[in-house]
Structure 1
């Protein structure tokens, strides 16, 4: 009994030791060294982390709940920011035409924008990696079919494909379901616009890896092709994939904002940053500039920070630049 009780403890200690060793290797590696030597990247990481954490903890961070109709008063509509003479201490950045706190709607709006962005990038990454591995590993007719589909999609702008898929979903689904499935429709529309980059990148790497000795040895001992692709080929192509995913996160947030600005994305009952910009645009020339300027500035800062992180990650994972 003593031996059986000590065995899990030894296993946990071994896992903990490996985790500590992995952390030491990471902090002693080139990526962490490059990160700490770039003030711009550090600021970008802090800004991105701030947006992510504030979005996750929106109910705790936001001063008001913009979805609580009981706390919204139309008499508070279009109150200017606090530094104006007629500002209100309750609303730091002012209110919109419905009396909602701009700061709170921005926090909740970034939550929706980042949620759609992360989900669509994950969907595009999984689909693109799967098709790229299959295309590059098997080649032949399978490769030709997948790559011709990718070539056709590359001839259309991503926003046009997203508009097409969103329009088809709205035409096929009953009107009552639009307010319930908008998140999944947006993720599908944006995700299907970006899978080609992952597929082409993974395909090229898989075509190189499939002819190496360790892959041929795995074939000889009878390992199924699916396990070979997942265990041996996939880990060697994840570097470029992570770079594409980081950059595509910013593009996905912009695409969602564009769709919402055009009125075919997030509904008005769940405003994202794009929806807030569209709504505030109607009041821009009436003097209530803060309704659209602050969400627009938040979107620009978020996208810039993520793009800078993507550029740094691309250089940090490039062995030619080390």
Structure 2
């Protein structure tokens, strides 16, 4: 092989020969070789598994497989396993070997660039998906994704008969905070609130910024009375921790409404959201900074 390549016109390659796979693998340090001409009939490794061993050791190196078998299926399988080209030893002169080596290097470079481009594209797609489903300010799910999740959870609850609770939270007098201290401070309040809710939520809960100063926490397999404790914990934490920007420290409170799917009630998102909103309205009417669980009285008060 060395002699054949030496006879090729314009041959740019210096050939290092290894008669055993283990010996050849020792040469495959990064930057040490440009291409591997790989015999599939080595004393210590035979067949296509040899290709895999080289790729495992040096995935960056292009491979031209050499075999004495004129087998197209073997050629296809060698390329499928990661080789860049395939030659039959008895039919490969120096010119063909050199050309195959050059083309293998070019193809490997193209494959690497394509892999990098695909990785960047996947990263961009993940970022686009993140932007489409999360609220930029708080990092919580946005309204659009929340609607998808509540629809999904309502269907699941309908199939399994499981409980499903919804906590709706609204910051009290948030417009006053914005008007008094500015929108940048208001954003700080929203981010702090989101952090508190996220910290109190279970891994199975769906937490979202529903819009403005309104947040949602969807709690699968949870009855309304079971949702009261985590809701109250969130309310107390918000009231306990003033929000500060280094210049101002402002106490914030929140009102919360809780609804749940129950036997005989419609298993649909609109129903669940409407009842949580009615319970939230009752909390506001009760003086704010409190939590209310939906009841028929909430519906009557909201309708008045």
User: TM-score if structure 2 supplies the norm length?
Assistant: 0.20
Which of the pair has more CA radius of gyration? 2
- Which is helix-richer, 1 or 2? 1
- Which is strand-richer, 1 or 2? 2
Higher RCO, 1 or 2 (CA under 8 Å, sep at least 6)? 1
